[in-house]
Amino acid sequence: MKRAVPRDVTPHGVAHARRGFSARFASLRATGASALAAFLVVLGPGLLAGLSDDDPAGITTYSVLGTDHGYRLLWIIPVSTVLLVQFHLVAVRIGAATGKGFVGIIRERWGTSWGYLTVVLLLFANFGTICAEYAGIAAAGSLIGVPAWISAPVAGVLITLVVLLGSFHRVEHVLLLISSTLALYIVDGVLARPVWSEVVSGALIPRMPVNDAGWVALTASLGTTLAPWGLAFIQSYAVDKRITTTSLRLARWDVIIGSVLTGVIGLAIAVACAATLHQAGVRIETAADAAAALRPLAGSFATLFFGAGLLGASLLAAAIVPIATAYSIAEGAGEPASLDLDARHFQWFYAAFVGLTVTAVSIVSLPGLPLIPLIYSSQVLNAVVLPLHLIALLRLGADETIMGAARATPWATRLGWVSVALVVTCIAALAWSWV
């Protein structure tokens, strides 16, 4: 049974809605419960937001990185992981301190017009990504002969039923279970039998690209790891989970673990392709191409694990990206945004989720429809939105009027601006390579 979420979005209403989590967390601390038990209470936002970045677009990006450039550019994945930890921590801190998601706090701090603009940008940027997730499901199904017009709708119905009928914690448990399938990519990385000394060298020693394609690969790897929808999701999800400033220390470990696992899985995908497809001179365009090409090079198990991981990643992201977008739409409209809302009555949050899912499934199921232009344009828009999102997070995190004692330190803010400069530089280099 879903619990009702108060419609009061004032600070008093937020405090009331979060009282259950705070009491539960405090009781664990007061009764001397183990640190593990307290950690399990806050586990979720960082893990899901991080692992969902390893979606079909991310898997394809890492596959191309390893296939086309071998071990040379692996270092961008650890760098992206550090940035992921940094900005996910900022987003969680803002959510914990304010009790509002990204669009909600934009709306409060800078007005409804900026809130609406943020929703529009995220909606356009996210929709192509949602289509990409269902395209990933279709691609995984095609590996065993299941057509897209069957696999995509079936997945859409199952995901929608889980979100509409499940409580917050049940939805979270299902998503965490699905995310565990991504561990198969680590097995794939080992099965590929890479040259480990070259893996370590490529991952730790930065070497610049030798051509425009290398710059594209670097920027794409950075952008697929640090996605605007992931940043919006982790903040809104942390609010939905009732994370507060008292639990931030443990929530920080959730973010770090989720981000590191994301980087390890991305590295395993790139290594598997570098050790096999790159050595054989194979060229690929999608993650499904990589899975099929691995069969003669690394065996049937490698193909099976790669395909199963692609399906799990697609299902996870096909749930999370629409949830992230639905959070933003509801917050922009000033309506409640929670997985615990009563689905038997109209809710902006659920209406947005269902609308996005049905539209994306319909598009992916159409035979012969070219998805690449839609997905490509959404990724370009993501590249434009990302620096704006990061700048907004840094400004909000350093704003004492909304953060109070939880505001970022000057040192952390300066480090954040250095990271933004790095992101902008990569995007500028990519744009220059296209001119």
Kindly state whether residue 12 falls inside one of the protein's structural domains: no
Cβ-count burial of 116 within 10 angstroms (0-12 exposed, 13-18 middle, 19+ buried)? Answer: middle
Give the model's pLDDT for residue 87.
95
d(CA 165, CA 308) in angstroms, rounded, equals 26
Report pLDDT digits (tens) over 29-71.
545 556 777 777 788 889 999 999 888 888 888 888 999 999 9
pTM above threshold 0.75: yes
User: 321-340 pLDDT, tens per residue?
Assistant: 999 999 999 999 999 999 99
Q: Are 402 and 241 in contact (CB under 8 A)?
A: no
pLDDT reading at 5 higher than 50: no
Q: What number is the average pLDDT over the span 116-121?
A: 94
Residue 15 lies in a domain: no
Q: How far apart are CA 261 and CA 255, in angstroms?
A: 10
Per residue in 351-369, pLDDT tens?
Answer: 999 999 999 999 998 877 6
| Distance (Å, whole) CA 81 – CA 222 | 9
Query: Tell me, what's the pLDDT at 221?
Result: 85
Assign residue 361 the CATH number of its domain: 1.20.1740.10
The verdict on residue 4 lying in a domain is no
Q: Determine, yes or no, domain membership for 300.
A: yes
* Nearest Cα to Cα of residue 386 among 35, 1, 15, 53: 53
* pLDDT tens digits for range 182-224: 888 898 888 888 999 999 999 999 998 888 788 888 888 887 8
- Mean pLDDT of the region 292-302: 69
pLDDT digits (tens, 9 = 90+) for 230-285: 999 999 999 999 998 888 888 999 999 999 999 999 999 999 999 988 888 888 77
Q: What angle do CA 312, 264, 151 make, to 5 degrees?
A: 15
Domain membership flag for residue 22: no
Average per-residue pLDDT for the chain: 85
Range picked from 14-23, 302-311, 386-395 for highest mean pLDDT: 386-395
Report the pLDDT value the prediction gives residue 4, as an integer from 0 to 100: 46
Domain that holds residue 134: 45-434
Mean pLDDT of 396-400: 94
* Alpha carbon distance 359, 58 (integer Å): 22
- Tell me if 259 is assigned to some domain: yes
Residue 418 above 60 pLDDT? Answer: yes
Tokens standing for 20?
């259950």
Q: Which of 28-32, 294-298, 387-391 has the lowest mean pLDDT?
A: 28-32
Residue 379 pLDDT class (50, 70, 90 cuts): low
173 in a domain, yes or no? yes
How far is 2 from 158, CA to CA, in rounded Å? 18
* Number of domains observed in the structure of the chain: 1
Query: Angle, to 10 degrees, between the axis of helix 56-69 and the axis of helix 248-273?
Result: 50
